[in-house]
A and B are shown apart, each in its own frame.
Chain A
Amino acid sequence: MTLDTNYTIPTTVMLQSVDDETLLFDSATELFFTLNDVGAIMWEIMSESSTLRAVYDELTEAYDVPSQQLEADIVTFATALTQQGLIHCA
């Protein structure tokens, strides 16, 4: 997986916020996944894009993070989402 990999989000996956926590719920599997603050921001950007490049570009502008570290974190996050079926990669 790279920043330019295309992905789609299944319609069964929903983002919810309860109290101060954010979660993803997949109605197909009925499983919940907790997102930390950074994961929630990544997901919000991902839900309006189709490649991870958009996440990288926005977070580069917003945070002072080494570019290689940021890219690795985004790819790791997306890989975890893929493994749980929360996004589908082309």
Chain B
Amino acid sequence: MLYGINLKYLDDTNDSSLLYSGGDDSLVILEDNTIDHLSFPVSLVYQNNQDRQISLLTDRDFTTPADDQPWIFYVENVISFAWETKNSVIRYRFHELATDDIFRFWLYHVVLPIYLSIGQVYRFLHAGAVEIDEKAILFMASSFGGKSTLTDYFIQRGHPLITDDKMATYEKDGMYYAVPSHPYHRPFRTVEVLGHLCENPSTQVRPIHAIYILEKSEPDASCTIRLLKGVEKFARLHEGGEMNFSFFTPKYVNYLAGLANKVNVFSVTVPHDLQRLEEVYQIIKEHSETLQGKL
């Protein structure tokens, strides 16, 4: 199960009996060599990612995605993925540079979060996350801010991995939850690498207990924790937004404000010294364990 969803891989696209008709919570992944990224005129995203040119394409201009709206995520010369907004099928096509590992990298790390964001199943945050006492603890940081390193340290200390990088969240009855993404972790951001298979991944949705925003500081600095409030808290959460497509911005902003009003967010100064990771680990662990309710 990835992102709370069962994946079913079907291989023979010529057999119409294998086409998925819905009826359960599974997401079908099947090969389709008819996908043509040139067939869609509207490009929403065109940028460099993993040293590849990527684009997200659709067939129309719009303000809100329609349920049957088709999408293609194209990685130049590598792979194409295609789906419709509310359909439980993702099709893919290998291009000349594709391999099975590269296919899984793009599917797990990028395409599933895009699919689930556009389908409004989850809202994503750019965060690493682990469990402490069966609660979700999120780590956010700017690029190279130590998020992956700290997440990796918590994993090594036996805490279940919730997510490596893209945190799927949702709100229900005023509570905010973290959904385990996939069991792979990339402490070193090598391009197009799926990551290490974590031996102890989280398997259940957990309430978000606290969010720690890491502030890299001098090697001899103290590790301190400061509660964020109000506008500063919202602004820091917004900086860590992920999959915030322009057509969802108002909803996403409302969601972040709701999250900010319900979940404790802290700024943590993290000394830039790997030898002091144990100290940072202990301080955050003890802090989260003593944290009760909204401050």
Interface set of A (CB-CB < 8 Å, partner B): 12, 14, 16-21, 23, 25, 27, 30, 32, 34
Contact B234 A23 (CB under 8 A): yes
Q: How many chain B residues touch the partner (CB < 8 A)?
A: 15
Q: Can you list, as one digit per residue, whether each of B20-32 has a CB less than 8 Å from chain A (1) or not (0)?
A: 0000000000000
Which stretch from B77-85, B99-107, B175-183, B249-257 is at the chain A interface? B249-257
List residues of chain A with CB within 8 A of the CB of B253: 14, 16, 25, 27
Q: Say yes or no for B231: interface residue by CB 8 A criterion.
A: yes
Residues on A with C-beta less than 8 A from B234 are 16, 18, 23, 25, 32
Check B229 for interface membership: any CB of A closer than 8 A.
Answer: yes
CB pair A20 B231 closer than 8 Å = no
Q: Which residues of A contact B235 (CB under 8 A)?
A: 32
**Which residues of B lie under 8 Å from residue A34 when comparing CB positions?**
230-231
Instruction: Determine whether the beta carbon of A16 is less than 8 Å from that of B230.
Output: no
State which of A14, A18, A27, A30 has its C-beta within 8 Å of the C-beta of B230.
Answer: A18
Chain B 225-254, CB-CB to A under 8 Å as 1, else 0, gives 000011101110010000000100110011
If the complex has contacts A16-B257, A19-B261, are A32 and B249 also in contact, measured as CB distance less than 8 A?
no
* Minimum Cβ distance to chain B for residue A15 (Å): 10
- Given that A16-B257, A18-B260, A18-B261 are known contacts, is A27 also in contact with B250, CB under 8 Å in the complex? yes
Q: Closest CB of chain A to B194's CB: distance in Å?
A: 32
Give A25 to B251 CA distance when docked, in angstroms.
13
A18, B257: Cβ atoms under 8 Å? yes
- Expressed in whole angstroms, the Cα–Cα distance for A18 and B234 within the complex equals 7
Distance, CA A46 to CA B257, complexed state (A)? 22
Residues of chain B within 8 A (CB-CB) of A19 are: 229-230, 233, 260-261
| Minimal Cβ-Cβ distance residue in A for B260 | A18
- Bound Cα distance A73, B12 (Å): 70
- Report B205-234 CB contacts with A as 1/0, cut-off 8 Å: 000000000000000000000000111011
Asked if A18 and B250 make an inter-chain contact with CB atoms under 8 angstroms apart, the answer reads no
Give Cα A14 to B256, complex, Å: 13
Contacts of A27 in B (CB 8 A): 246, 249-250, 253
| A33 CB, min distance to chain B CBs, angstroms | 9
Most chain A C-beta atoms within 10 Å of own C-beta, residue among B229, B230, B238:
B230
User: Whole-angstrom distance between the alpha carbons of A42 and B253 in the complex?
Assistant: 22
Query: Smallest CB-CB separation from A20: which chain B residue?
Result: B230
B230 touches A21 (CB 8 A): yes
List the A side residues contacting B254 at CB < 8 Å. 14, 16
CB neighbours of B229 from chain A (8 A) = 18-21
For A23, the chain B residues whose CB sits under 8 A away are 230-231, 234
A16, B229: Cα distance in complex, Å: 13
Given A32-B231, A32-B235, A34-B231, is A17 in contact with B257 using a C-beta cutoff of 8 Å?
Answer: yes
Q: Which residue of B lies closest to A21 (CB)?
A: B230
Nearest Cβ on chain A to B189's Cβ, whole angstroms: 25
Name, among B231, B246, B253, B254, the residue most crowded by chain A CB atoms within 10 Å (CB to CB): B231
Docked-complex contact B249 and A18, CB < 8 angstroms = no
Residues of chain B within 8 A of A17, CB atoms compared: 257, 261
Cα–Cα distance between A8 and B52 once the two chains are bound (Å): 42
Task: Select B231's contact among A12, A18, A30, beta carbons within 8 Å.
Answer: A18
Give CA–CA (A11, B234) in the complex, Å: 20
A30: nearest residue on chain B (CB-CB)? B238
